[in-house]
Amino acid sequence: MADMPRIKRLQEVVRLFLRLGITAFGGPAAHIGMMHDEVVRRRKWVGEQEFLDLIGATNLIPGPNSTEMAIHLGYLRAGWPGLIAAGACFICPAMAIVMALAWVYVRYGSSPQAEWLLYAVKPVVIAVIVQAILSLGRKAVKGSLTGAVGVAVLVMFFLGVNEIALLFAGGLFVMLCMNLRRLKGGAMSLLLMPPLGPLGLPAWSMAAAAGAAGVAFGYLRLFLTFLKIGAVLYGSGYVLLAFLHADFVVRLGWLTDRQLVDAVAIGQVTPGPVFTTATFIGYVLGGPAGAVVATVGIFLPSFVFVVVSNPLIPRVRRSAWAGSLLDGVNVASLGLMAAVTWQLGRASLVDPLTVVMAAAAFVLLFRYKVNSTWLILGAAAIGLVSATVR
């Protein structure tokens, strides 16, 4: 009987992240918005500040941010079983969908189209992200300094500055400004190194281990190549595309440019992590076994990084230096989310129907607190009806 609360919490984790794995369209920003709606606003598993700190921590380590958020949240809710369950439940539905699409692709030689689905879902995704940004922004903007940094990150992103450089520059700038007087006292023995140093070293050592020579296909080489990518990749889907092109098209010669573009497209139009692009590539190269090997390879580092970093987050928050660094990273992360939302909005709100859908979703989220999952499913149904009518 003593274990019943933990078992119930684990069941909650499984149900939530299975559902998100099936319905979380729109990329990392949208996934984080949906998680915020579920675990902060509805279930109250964590508070706004703790959720913000998790966003900052996932931005400081390589790998897919939204998947690492799921793993963190599962661990906080149900311990080690929750850590594994949340990650697996968020990844596996997308993996199964991508494998099915890869089977169709291999059998018929073309990628299935999903324009009708994205047309209707994207406006709702915009509303979900905006709701999360506004809610988190009330905690992240702690004064004129952090507010100015958030705006500066947003502006510089549109001027073409690299998002990873902006993330770390924002964090360091806030840290230095908030602790300027400590510099004279020689208090530079920060708690900054624990979250950065230990996490950086394994990533690069794993990358070195994956540099096997040769072009003959093998499951071990497939695994190590994706393990390297998962261990060192920061940034957006465009960065993932660059890594995949360098390894699978140029270095190994296993894929053509067309196959790579199709793989990235499938990863973007399916729910769940964009990194399931690896599942598609693995299936094309090595069938179902290749899909599993590639998926495990690219996501395994995320579990390791979360295990190492999660206990350090409270220590970082308690440190004056590292806590202010985290404040800067948090507000810079929201600035980047806002920039991505603007870009998605311009691509998604293309006619009166999509504008009305976004506005309606926004009202339903804020005024009536409708669950974001039901809004996504409702939008998908509208898209299906619209496609049938046309």
Locus of tokens 């991505």: 340
In the structure encoding, which two tokens stand for residue 52, read together? 């913000």
Mean pLDDT across the chain, nearest whole number?
81
Residue 10 — very low, low, confident or very high, per pLDDT cuts 50/70/90? very high
Closest CA to 328 of 160, 197, 72, 150: 150
pTM of the model: 0.71
Listed in sequence order, the residues at least 6 apart from 132 whose beta carbon sits closer than 8 Å to its beta carbon are 32, 33, 36, 37, 337
User: DSSP class of residue 250?
Assistant: I
Residue 50 — very low, low, confident or very high, per pLDDT cuts 50/70/90? very high
* Domain boundaries along the sequence of the chain: 1-114+142-341
CA angle 35, 38, 41 (to 5 degrees): 115
In the structure encoding, which two tokens stand for residue 122, read together? 């994207």
First to last CA, the chain: 57
- The SS3 call for residue 126 is helix
CA 342 remoteness from chain centre: 18
pLDDT digit string (tens) for 78-91? 999 999 999 999 99
Exposure letters 239-268 (e unless 16+ CB within 10 A, then b): ebbebbbebbeeebebbeeebbebbbbbbb
Closest CA to 61 of 304, 268, 317, 323: 304
In the structure encoding, which two tokens stand for residue 364, read together? 């339903």
Contact (Cβ atoms closer than 8 angstroms) between residue 162 and residue 68: no
Torsion sign across C-alpha atoms 354, 355, 356, 357: positive
Contact (Cβ atoms closer than 8 angstroms) between residue 222 and residue 285: yes
Query: Residue 33: what residue type?
Result: G
pLDDT digit string (tens) for 253-307? 898 887 887 787 677 678 888 889 899 999 999 999 999 999 999 999 999 999 9
Query: CB count, 10 Å around CB of 80?
Result: 10
Contact (Cβ atoms closer than 8 angstroms) between residue 316 and residue 194: yes
Contact (Cβ atoms closer than 8 angstroms) between residue 117 and residue 340: no
User: DSSP class of residue 160?
Assistant: T
